[in-house]
Structure 1
Amino acid sequence: MFSNYPKQERLSDSDAQAGRKLTRRGVLQLGGLGSAFLIAGPGLLAACSSDTTPKSSGLQRGGSLQIAIGDASTTDVLDPAKSINQFTALLGGLIFDPLLRQDLDFKPQPALATKWSVSSDARQWTFDLRDDVVFHDGTALTSEDVAFSIARHLDKSIGSRLYGRLSASLKPEGIKTPSKTQVVLNLETPDGLLAVALASRYMFVLKKGTTSFDGKVSGTGPFELANWTPGASFVVKRSEKYWASGRPYLDEIRGIVVADPASRLRSVTSGPSDILDTVDFTLAPSVEKQSNVKLANLKSSFFVNFAMDQTQAPFDDVRVRKAFKLALDREKFLQVVFGGHGTISGDVPVLPSDPTYPANTLVKRDVEQAKRLLAEAGYPNGIDVELVTAPLRAGMVDAAVVFAESVKDAGIRVQVKQQPSANYFTSIWLKVPFYVSYWATRQSTEEAALTLVSNGTSNESRFANPEFDKLIQEARTSADEATRNQKTKQALEIAAIESGWIIPAIIDTLTVMKRSVQDVALNSMQILDMSGAWKGNS
């Protein structure tokens, strides 16, 4: 049973200097890439908390704040089930609430659900809801709204990113509402990780019957939607009905899309914006020299990857896929693109320190072996491919350029083609044979279920391996953590060698904000949580 948020510990500089032990991901660096403030350091909050007290002294209520965003599209929709970029994730997090949240170690924590329990066979989950929540239109939140929100993800026609994950264990008829404040999920098969899946950013709670997301959508979040233009901007206003007493502190938050990374940074350092979503590490040194802004670094929080569609030539040959993996100089990639701020990975979406990380990967560069594999696959004189990218996320364009330079020694001739950010997820993602993408890190079994199982809606490489699917299914249905870890590890070893995913490293997220911005929460799913944010004097 889970009943409370974990208390956030406020650590001092002396704690940091003493090397006090921290969780794997619970480290935030602030004020420069070399200086560290840990967990709830001045002006930043590491994770969401039920405590509504501001973490920094001198709280000033009111005012507005502007966020510069790089990743957006003119085809964006506000349906959380279809959220695909930072624009929709950030805006969704302002106007909606999740059933559960994830902390920085991917552990589910209370949100609209105050507590939950699971049966010993992991086939029945019971969630108790807050009884003091209302939607922006004044309607009280009930279990019917939560049931409706979960059921949407089980309707294949909706196109939810969670469809493949949730439909594997839950059917619509298994969703019960015995009272207005309780939801019971009776599963078809055991699911020891259901709470983690329901803490996904796709699982914001909607008002029952919601079908339109084009106009003013009613949520239960800290801000109400005033207006928005897909791929361009949004404005949200403080909700007077928010259940967290006293929050939010800001009157208004504006979002504006600035596609060019350098222009996005300037909009904060010398322009009207107060904070940006992410910044390229190559631009970080210029930030450290400016007194009016500060840096925040969320460790090991995302990865830039290369997706080879293995249903299309030449990537339908596993020898070609292996050759591409072996030809990449991962150390060079990490140093040049991200300034070393990350950890080398062997093409799996987890850190080497994770218990599910496989021992057998192609992480060691071997140019001669790559050449031999290409020759065996029918390319004795090398191979020509086109790699598509866009400046959606920090490092995506540089990643493509460095990749092309790194693999040419193996006879892999890569032509990099940069596309505009605005149409990337409609015309490039899941459509072209070879492209650059990015993902937030997640709990490893959940990440695999979302991105690598054969029926996953976000399976970028079209990876399809029955043994992999079987192992992930066995991991997900086990109530024993050790068994889950072992099954997931076996599955990821298959993916590391055979899949069309190249993941050179797990990377830190770097954010820049004006020094007047206080108590912004960084979390693994929404990147920025603004419910407790406020602005002081610069």
Structure 2
Amino acid sequence: MESNTVDRRSVLASIAGASAVGLAGCSEGSSDPEGSSDSEELGERVPNVVMSYWTDLPPFSPAQEKSMGPWKSMFEQLGIAMEEKPLAITEAVQSATVDARNFHICNWSAAGTPRRLDPSDGLVRYTVPNAGVAGGANYSQYTNCEYTHLANQSTRITDEDERRKTVNEAFKIISEDSGVITQSNIPVFGGYNKRIEFKGAGTMNVQTHLWHLRQSEVKDGENVIVWASTPGSLQKINNPAPLSTAIRSNLIWSPLFEYSPEGELEPCLAKDYEVSDDLTEVTVSLRNDAVFHNGDSITAEDVAWSLWFYFNNPSYYYWTANPPWDWEADPDYGFAEVVDDTTVRFHLKEPYAPFMIPLSLWGILHKESSIAQGAEENTQEFEPNDPFIGSGPFTVSDFSSGEIMRLEPHPYEHPVSNPSHRANLVSFGDPTAMFEALVSGSVDCIPGVNYNFVSRIENEDHLETYIQDGFDVLFAAPQQSHAPFKFKELRQAVSASLNRREINAIAFGGNGTIEMADTLFVESNPWHPPDEAVVRHTEDPTGEPEVGRQILEDAGWGWDGDGNLHYPQEADLDPVWPDGEMPSPDDFPCIDEEGNYVSN
């Protein structure tokens, strides 16, 4: 079986090209001579900035929308008019992923999923090979080769001290460049019915691991816990979406290793593992007592095929990361070798520090039934529900797309977690309806609610609230493939001027932890950089617009008589690379003609 390959320079180019047309005429000022200064010292007027935010993903959407006011005020203080552009998350992610150029900056959120306990995901995502139409989820189109080298080197370093030093060097570069503009962490607010003994919330966002559905217990009433979920997470059983990963890999399937609610990596279907001296082979021993929901033993064959299947379909299972697998190691499953019934060996071309992340992200499938249900023939249409044979603590007893998933405990025994109750996951698109369902008793637990609901939950005698600090991140992704955010000084000025304290108060009731340095690693993340490893453009959480204006003035920007910001006179306003293309190796020597990374 061969690795699936993608033409990186052509993938999704048509989507990007179709979307970019809308930005060109969004500004009145950019072509209005009445809005320009007669002074020969100023260049063109900076256009109206289009800033988007997500509309349909609690708890992130309410926080993003609420923060738009402070963003608009900040831009006005810099002499820029801002237009809001609400988008569904799928459209926003697709647009940013392929550099569609239908907004200039987007309010963004990164869920504190287990894979972000390692820095590789947050670092490598923002490297040059992932920019443009490559589809590599470089959401801000940040392109810096020095940073790209450090980010890639950090995945190959296995000594923790040396690795942390390299990671911090990368942090210093992206924070100085304001490649992303960080605002704060995102505290998670939720509520539950007191008939439930609520356990397993831990320190990570419950939506990313769902341990509470495994560990909580029913004290009164029917022995079922009803959990309010988002519509997108229940579209399919075979759903690769980010917040569906917890359902896949923590409830209905299980991975080889998994993160505890406190973020500790622990064995699940695996018993233990060994790493070769040259760090290119990982040998995993399976538990002898692990069985699928139909009673079949979970074998190395199932494991090897499952991991091969996920990584051979990266366009669908797009959270697989990109380890340097040795696809030539095994004639059947490429990088995954079946040693015996309970032993599987994974082969890498070179050392890869976060090798445990892919082994903890995806649940192990039942090979025989999955192939019979069309997994290899049509991955996107594959839906394992007739019958459903999983490997997790729960099995699916009933499923209605976009509405409800009913779960029963594993009919035999799970090696790690054996809940004593049933669980129903019910879809809610409206936060108010979700809250009302909690009050009425039709659901037992709601996640990720707007902060405004907290006091209303506290006023109900039969309900209890929970608040998690977590390391979910609220940040902005300035689109750096084109003006105006191709200019580093504008990004730095925005970071210096933004009132993060006001955003925290409006969005989170002051419960968030403000982050002044422009990295994606907030204080609660174990890889949060020390002070000396970052550059902050202000130390004032209320923002310093006068500092931002000084940064711009020092770089040759200026204002006309009406207070409108203008580019420097000689500013090159051409895009960094043409619309619908990728960065060029002529400008970025850390990539080749196909957009692949070239080491220094």
TM-score band, normalised by shorter chain: 0.5 to 0.7
User: In structure 2, how many angstroms separate the alpha carbons of the residues matched to 1:235 and 1:152?
Assistant: 26
Residues 305-345 of structure 1 deviation map (CA, whole Å, 9 limit, x = unaligned): 32333235433333333333233211221122112222222
Residues 118-160 of structure 1 deviation map (CA, whole Å, 9 limit, x = unaligned): 2343222111111222222343211111111222343255433
Give the structure 2 partner of residue 45 of structure 1.
Answer: 200
- Are 1:65 and 2:220 counterparts? no
- Are 1:125 and 2:296 counterparts? no
Mark the CA change 1:206 to 1:311 in structure 2 (over 3 Å): closer, same or farther.
farther
Instruction: Specify which of 389, 393, 408 is matched with residue 222 of structure 1.
Output: 393
Counterpart of 2:366 in structure 1: which amino acid? Answer: K
Give the structure 2 partner of residue 406 of structure 1.
Answer: none
1:367 to partner: Cα distance: 1.5
- Are 1:296 and 2:451 counterparts? no
Mark the CA change 1:56 to 1:93 in structure 2 (over 3 Å): closer, same or farther.
closer
Mark the CA change 1:371 to 1:56 in structure 2 (over 3 Å): closer, same or farther.
closer
Give the structure 1 partner of residue 247 of structure 2.
Answer: 90
1:114 to partner: Cα distance: 1.6
Mark the CA change 1:138 to 1:380 in structure 2 (over 3 Å): closer, same or farther.
farther
Counterpart of 2:420 in structure 1: which amino acid? Answer: Y
Question: What does 1:86-235 align with in structure 2 at a 5 Å threshold?
Answer: 86-87=243-244, 89-90=246-247, 93-104=250-261, 106-167=263-324, 173-200=334-361, 203-208=362-367, 210=370, 211=375, 213-216=382-385, 217-235=388-406
1:286 to partner: Cα distance: 1.7
1:196 to partner: Cα distance: 3.4
Helix, strand or coil at the partner of 1:350 = coil
Counterpart of 1:366 in structure 2: which amino acid? Answer: E
Mark the CA change 1:378 to 1:360 in structure 2 (over 3 Å): closer, same or farther.
closer
Give the structure 2 partner of residue 449 of structure 1.
Answer: none
- Are 1:257 and 2:427 counterparts? yes
Give the structure 1 partner of residue 536 of structure 2.
Answer: 361
Helix, strand or coil at the partner of 1:294 = strand
Mark the CA change 1:157 to 1:411 in structure 2 (over 3 Å): closer, same or farther.
same
Mark the CA change 1:186 to 1:73 in structure 2 (over 3 Å): closer, same or farther.
closer
User: In structure 1, how many angstroms separate the alpha carbons of the residues matched to 2:527 and 2:416?
Assistant: 40
1:189 to partner: Cα distance: 0.8
Q: Given that residues 371 and 382 in structure 1 are in contact (C-alpha distance below 8 angstroms), is that contact kept between their aligned partners in structure 2?
A: no
Counterpart of 1:240 in structure 2: which amino acid? Answer: P
More RCO (CA 8 Å, sep 6+): 2
Give the structure 2 partner of residue 329 of structure 1.
Answer: 499
User: In structure 1, how many angstroms separate the alpha carbons of the residues matched to 2:538 and 2:505?
Assistant: 15
Residues 481-520 of structure 1 deviation map (CA, whole Å, 9 limit, x = unaligned): xxxxxxxxxxxxxxxxxxxxxxxxxxxxxxxxxxxxxxxx
User: In structure 2, how many angstroms separate the alpha carbons of the residues matched to 1:276 and 1:382?
Assistant: 52
User: In structure 1, how many angstroms separate the alpha carbons of the residues matched to 2:364 and 2:463?
Assistant: 35
Mark the CA change 1:323 to 1:285 in structure 2 (over 3 Å): closer, same or farther.
same
Counterpart of 1:107 in structure 2: which amino acid? Answer: E
Q: Given that residues 95 and 225 in structure 1 are in contact (C-alpha distance below 8 angstroms), is that contact kept between their aligned partners in structure 2?
A: yes
Give the structure 1 partner of residue 61 of structure 2.
Answer: none
User: In structure 2, how many angstroms separate the alpha carbons of the residues matched to 1:166 and 1:295?
Assistant: 40
1:236 to partner: Cα distance: 2.2
User: In structure 2, how many angstroms separate the alpha carbons of the residues matched to 1:277 and 1:56?
Assistant: 15
User: In structure 1, how many angstroms separate the alpha carbons of the residues matched to 2:398 and 2:527?
Assistant: 45
User: In structure 2, how many angstroms separate the alpha carbons of the residues matched to 1:157 and 1:58?
Assistant: 39
Q: Given that residues 326 and 369 in structure 1 are in contact (C-alpha distance below 8 angstroms), is that contact kept between their aligned partners in structure 2?
A: yes
Give the structure 1 partner of residue 174 of structure 2.
Answer: none
Counterpart of 1:178 in structure 2: which amino acid? Answer: V
Counterpart of 1:186 in structure 2: which amino acid? Answer: H
Give the structure 1 partner of residue 411 of structure 2.
Answer: 240
Mark the CA change 1:73 to 1:168 in structure 2 (over 3 Å): closer, same or farther.
same
1:268 to partner: Cα distance: 0.7
Helix, strand or coil at the partner of 1:101 = strand
Helix, strand or coil at the partner of 1:44 = coil
Residues 245-276 of structure 1 deviation map (CA, whole Å, 9 limit, x = unaligned): 8922113x222222222221221122411111
User: In structure 2, how many angstroms separate the alpha carbons of the residues matched to 1:370 and 1:64?
Assistant: 54
Helix, strand or coil at the partner of 1:115 = strand
1:112 to partner: Cα distance: 0.6
Provide the TM-score with structure 1 as the length reference.
0.56
User: In structure 2, how many angstroms separate the alpha carbons of the residues matched to 1:281 and 1:199?
Assistant: 31
Q: Given that residues 147 and 183 in structure 1 are in contact (C-alpha distance below 8 angstroms), is that contact kept between their aligned partners in structure 2?
A: yes
Mark the CA change 1:249 to 1:382 in structure 2 (over 3 Å): closer, same or farther.
farther
Helix, strand or coil at the partner of 1:266 = helix
Residues 71-106 of structure 1 deviation map (CA, whole Å, 9 limit, x = unaligned): 5268x44336x222x355336532111211113453
User: In structure 1, how many angstroms separate the alpha carbons of the residues matched to 2:272 and 2:337?
Assistant: 17
Q: Given that residues 382 and 411 in structure 1 are in contact (C-alpha distance below 8 angstroms), is that contact kept between their aligned partners in structure 2?
A: no
Question: What does 1:498-517 align with in structure 2 at a 5 Å threshold?
Answer: none
Moved more, 362-371 or 234-243: 362-371
1:235 to partner: Cα distance: 2.0
User: In structure 1, how many angstroms separate the alpha carbons of the residues matched to 2:448 and 2:403?
Assistant: 17
Q: Given that residues 393 and 409 in structure 2 are in contact (C-alpha distance below 8 angstroms), is that contact kept between their aligned partners in structure 1?
A: yes
Instruction: Specify which of 488, 496, 499 is matched with residue 318 of structure 1.
Output: 488
Mark the CA change 1:105 to 1:312 in structure 2 (over 3 Å): closer, same or farther.
farther
Task: Work out the percentage of aligned pairs sharing the same amino acid.
Answer: 20
Provide the TM-score with structure 2 as the length reference.
0.50
Helix, strand or coil at the partner of 2:228 = strand
Q: Given that residues 273 and 285 in structure 2 are in contact (C-alpha distance below 8 angstroms), is that contact kept between their aligned partners in structure 1?
A: yes
Give the structure 2 partner of residue 78 of structure 1.
Answer: 237
Mark the CA change 1:466 to 1:320 in structure 2 (over 3 Å): closer, same or farther.
farther
User: In structure 2, how many angstroms separate the alpha carbons of the residues matched to 1:98 and 1:288?
Assistant: 37
- Are 1:286 and 2:441 counterparts? no
1:348 to partner: Cα distance: 1.9
What is the aligned-residue RMSD (CA, Å)? 4.4
Aligned length: 354
Q: Which runs of 5+ in 1 are unaligned?
A: 1-24, 33-40, 384-408, 413-432, 434-453, 455-463, 468-472, 475-538
Q: Given that residues 228 and 434 in structure 2 are in contact (C-alpha distance below 8 angstroms), is that contact kept between their aligned partners in structure 1?
A: yes
Helix, strand or coil at the partner of 1:177 = strand
